Amino acid sequence: MVPVPQTIQEKTITALQGDANAFGTIFQWYGPKLLAHAVRICGNKPIAKDAVQETFISAFIHHSSLRDASSFYPWLKKILTNHCLHLLRKEKTKGLDESIETNDSVILQSIEENFERSANKQQMFEAMDHLSEELRSCVLLRYFSNYSTYEEIAQILAIPVGTVRSRLAAARGKLLAYYNRSVDASDDAIKEAEQWSNYYYTLCNKLYHEWENRKEFIEHFVPMLNIRFTSGKTAQGRALFEKEILEDLDYGTFFKPTIITSSGNISVIEGYPIHSPDYPDRCPPSSVLIMFRNKEKVDTLHLINSERVNGG
């Protein structure tokens, strides 16, 4: 793994002193790393993304409890692991080993109690002012009340549990955008991350239409590429990944990237397939590629697909 850039270390110290904009910048930096870690735990992209967003909210509210900036990322991973396990239990995932859950006092403490002591209380309310009443009511119940489960919120607001989940996801996304609004464009670490994301966005959008771009993208992966699939099974060899792309071409399927984020040596590509009329159900509804670079070449790839509707 690449070392944390000096600028990110400095912003971490500033963030722990109560600078919301610095906090947004460092979370943008760590976001892809956290998502990669969450996918390993959850094996499920939607749950993993929820856990990462929950981690952001918890870390922002509890930031004053962390004194040592050098422990920031391990602290984030602790929070993330707890949220992953909590969400997995809510999904009633079978085979979950609860013995690995840590009783992290930072998470188990009342969020409301910590929020009342937080120097960022005013900034948090200012951020929530950017949310609609529907979203804001879900956030207040989820994080600042004694009725915080999805089921309790659904009962109080008289809406389905699925609606609660989607509203909270939308609210967390808007809060993240609010805190990322003033990212320092001169920050070399963020600029490099954006360059990688733009690089992949260009290649992916031309992947199925231009042979030279397809060749460049495939050769960006090392020949002995390590691949981890949704099921947890692993394989080795760039040829397997190339075969997937060529089969897409044969069936008239095109992968459309929607969100690409990068941090250090990790890039995350999220997207969905565009099918041909002859094979409308060939691929899962969405996929995420988590790529780990070593010396500017990808040596490890996690290829995660969402569940098919109706078990297709």
Domains of the chain (ranges; CATH) run 6-179 (no CATH), 188-311 (3.10.450.50)
- Report whether pLDDT(172) > 80: no
Q: In what order do the strands lie in the sheet with 254-263?
A: 234-236, 221-229, 297-305, 287-294, 266-274, 254-263
Residue 101: what pLDDT?
36
Segment 193-202, tens digit of pLDDT: 888 989 999 9
Name the more confident of 228 and 231.
228
Mean pLDDT of the 57-70 span: 78
Q: Percent of the chain beyond pLDDT 70?
A: 79
Residue 108: what pLDDT?
36
| pTM score | 0.65
Name the more confident of 120 and 108.
120
Average pLDDT, rounded, for the chain: 77
